[in-house]
Chains A and B, each alone.
Chain A
Amino acid sequence: MATKSLLKRNNELANANRQLEILSNGIFADGELPTFKDKITQTGQFPLRPRKLEILQINVGYMCNQVCEHCHVDAGPDRKEIMTVETMKQCLEVIKNTGAHTLDLTGGAPEMNPNFRWFVEEASKAGIKDFIVRSNLTIIRANKKYYDLPEFFKKHNVHVVSSMPHWTRGKTDKQRGDGVFDKSIKALQELNAVGYGMPDSDLRLDLVYNPSGAFLPGDQMALEADFKKGLMEDFGISFHNLFAITNLPISRFLDYLIASENYEDYMYALVEAYNPSAVQNVMCTNTISVSWDGWLYDCDFNQMLDLKVASKVKHISEYNEEVIRNRDIIISQHCYGCTAGAGSSCQGTVA
């Protein structure tokens, strides 16, 4: 398993333009498969336009204690892109005035940003309805200075959303690294101990499931039932909901697909599973993604492909919700990942 990011390895897929070229070449260039634009045009959904903003997703940095095989951020310990206090202050101004009901902090491991706690404390004062932190779980056990994170999250009524690829050790460690499963289990037990994820608790703990390989996620409810049974029987762990998220063919997952000769079959599977009703609710229609350096994107995936919003307003410093809403969403073939089957978003299925 790689321990360095694509960027650190000087892999060509660290380059967003190279990824976009691959996604437009081959089977999409010769017409074997329709481009995403053609497909949504056929179902009368081009151009894709935003609806009312509901979710403000802020990426506070690409640094992470893990180097997961499928990571679309290409995050890892060697990534130095970290949101500054100045950009955080610009974000706080937006958080105070936004019409969005959900604030979603992500990374990397957001907790590794040195100003993470200050930012959470300040952001929680804005009284936003649902305040999510995407925590990878192992960070809670990575170092003594993080041991009190469950209490910290509880104090600020943070909604914790954590990744867990399987309820068994083998599949989890294969995707996320040796020892990740045991540390994740311990972290989940600690979150449960302070009240997170318990059946009647208001302290929300949801899990994210990404397939550990070149296949699409199965039915979210069936997987949730299996996860709940497996984690409760073996470890006494409770959680609220499972979000099944499709791996999009970008960054490290694209690298994996190409290296394992699964790329074409995977793209076929995504295109075959295209669901027009998922397009209606795809997350870029209700989300704005903010990068560590304050740029605005239609979604976290477009952020990683460096496709900034097609709007006069492109940066958090000049944020204007009305102006940003009046834009076309930028699409490419990776978008098939969010419209396959029951659809996929950072909040799970959409159709």
Chain B
Amino acid sequence: MSKSYYDPADLRKFGKITEWSEELGTSFFDYYGKVFQEGALSAREKSLIALAVSHVVKCPYCIDAYTKDGLQRGITKEEMMEAVHAGAAIEAGASLVHGVQMMNKYEKLSM
């Protein structure tokens, strides 16, 4: 057993999850493949969304995968960093908007 929870080499074994549950694994990968096809959004736009979400959910495998995916698509580092900030801003906002709850509670409890 690895002494680390995350091993970069595990990413390329992702497909093996199908071995323990073929139906669910295959369904997932079919779904996943379709999600990232060209649609109303371009595959390029979806790649940047995936990169931003990868940071918000703090998935190191996803960050590796979508940084590489972006490079393959010719996405620039400036575009990648802006996407990461978009994710980070939503995450910061999600914390901060609770400040309203704090303010409401404060006002309710105060004379």
**B24 near A: Cβ within 8 Å?**
no
Query: Using an 8 Å CB-CB cutoff, how does the interface string of B60-87 with A read, 1 for contact, 0 for none?
Result: 0000000010011110100000000000
Residues of B close to A217: CB separation below 8 A: 72
B74 touches A215 (CB 8 A): no
Least Cβ–Cβ distance between B15 and chain A, in angstroms: 9
**A216 near B: Cβ within 8 Å?**
yes
Residues of A in contact with B (beta carbons under 8 Å apart): 166-168, 171, 211, 213, 215-219, 222-223, 226-227, 265, 268, 272
Contacting residue for A222 out of B12, B71, B73, CB 8 A: B73
B72 touches A218 (CB 8 A): yes
B12 touches A218 (CB 8 A): no
Closest to B8 in A: A265
Contacting residue for A213 out of B43, B44, B71, B76, CB 8 A: B71
CA distance A223 to B43 in the complex (A): 12
A222 touches B76 (CB 8 A): no
Closest to A215 in B: B71
A268 touches B12 (CB 8 A): yes
B73 touches A218 (CB 8 A): yes
B43 touches A222 (CB 8 A): yes
Least Cβ–Cβ distance between B73 and chain A, in angstroms: 4
Interface class of chain A by DSSP = loop
A215 touches B68 (CB 8 A): yes
CA distance A225 to B67 in the complex (A): 21
Least Cβ–Cβ distance between B16 and chain A, in angstroms: 13
Query: Using an 8 Å CB-CB cutoff, how does the interface string of B40-59 with A read, 1 for contact, 0 for none?
Result: 00111000000000000000
Residues A211 and B71 in contact in the complex (CB < 8 Å), given A168-B76, A222-B43, A222-B44: yes
Residues of B close to A171: CB separation below 8 A: 76
Q: List 6 A-B contacts (CB under 8 A).
A: A166-B74, A211-B72, A215-B68, A215-B72, A216-B72, A219-B43
* Closest 7 A/B residue pairs (Cβ): A218-B72, A218-B73, A215-B71, A215-B68, A215-B72, A226-B74, A223-B74
Q: Supply 6 further A-B pairs (C-beta < 8 A) apart from A213-B71, A216-B72, A265-B12.
A: A167-B74, A168-B76, A215-B68, A215-B72, A222-B74, A223-B74
CA distance A292 to B74 in the complex (A): 34
Residues of B close to A168: CB separation below 8 A: 76
